[in-house]
Amino acid sequence: MEQQVQKKRIFSGIQPTGNLTLGNYIGALRNFNLLQDEYDCLYSIVDMHAMTVRQNPAELRKACLRTMSIFLASGLDPRKNIIYFQSQVPQHAELAWILNCFTYMGELQRMTQFKDKAAKHADNINAGLFTYPVLMAADILLYQTDLVPIGEDQRQHLELCRDIANRFNGVYGDVFKVPEPYIAKVGARIMSLNAPESKMSKSSPEGCVFLLDRPEDILRKFKRAITDSDTERCVRYDPEHKPGVANLMQIYGSAAGKTYAEIEREFDGQGYGAFKAAVGEAVVEKLRPIREETERLLADKAYLESVYRAGAEKASYIAGKTLRKVYKKVGLLAK
């Protein structure tokens, strides 16, 4: 009898704050669909992480359900992936406390995101914001994760996670799998439409396309998108000298499934106006089924509840095995 090959496990967590963007879709969600047959995938909506900033309780609950609906509408199959809310798997918080005791203050003080967020939220520099990377490490290590999809802004956190895992393993033996970063085969860093030198961000709504934006708003944003100030005014992929055009070409290529060479030929001699309109229309059509399916799912509360309860049950089973091992190693009585 042929032995079944064990799939590698991928874990990814995404905060439910605000709406997901076109950048989230092209850089992450689109790739998730390519992973679900090849890997054992867990996708957590990390609602506990969101609490480092004051949240309106009713809005947070809505945002959680909206984020899960977008996941499903984007093509994630709950029969192939474990999709759940972080707060419904208590092992995350339990392991985070233990790992806090294996993390040094100096390591947390060096975290770039802590410095940035502390500067933005100077009136609420709380302990959760400081120890946020330890909870992130617990999220990952609970599931004996092989690979973690990350952007550059999370690389420092993953390195800390690896350091914590190695430190714990050095004391207690081979307890945690030490995760590696996953670099997507298909992906792009989508930049702001009105500031192409910066990543597309929710904090700049006019430069950002949200997945649930109305078609007329998407078209308006692309119509106003920054191209370039050069005199050439041609559609050509040149990120260094034409970052605005290059960004729009990345978006158009992802939405329409075209290469840069094909895009250059298509708009040869047409100028930027026709190009921006075409990009906007392609994005509208790409996002239309996601928006419509998200709206349908949000109206089906019973189905959403069945998905997140089943996901939490499966995640808890895996997380429980790891936590029991950790409890035994550190001398705590297992439940």
Q: Which domains does the chain have, with CATH numbers?
A: 9-188+301-330 (3.40.50.620), 205-295 (1.10.240.10)
Please determine, for residue 186, whether its predicted confidence score (pLDDT) is greater than 60. no
| pLDDT computed for residue 2 by the predictor | 47
Please determine, for residue 323, whether its predicted confidence score (pLDDT) is greater than 90. yes
pLDDT tens sequence across 270-298: 889 999 999 999 999 999 999 999 999 99
The residues that are catalytic are 117, 199, 202
Mean pLDDT of all residues belonging to the chain: 90
Length of the chain: 335
| pLDDT computed for residue 17 by the predictor | 73
Query: Residue 86, exposed/middle/buried by CB under 10 A (0-12, 13-18, 19+)?
Result: buried
pLDDT category at 4 given cuts 50, 70, 90 is: low
pLDDT tens sequence across 220-253: 999 999 988 766 678 989 888 899 999 999 999 9
| pLDDT computed for residue 199 by the predictor | 87
Please determine, for residue 203, whether its predicted confidence score (pLDDT) is greater than 90. no
pLDDT tens sequence across 22-38: 988 888 888 888 888 88
Helix, strand and coil in the chain, % to nearest 5: 55, 10, 35
pLDDT tens sequence across 121-167: 778 788 888 899 999 999 999 999 999 988 766 788 899 999 999 99
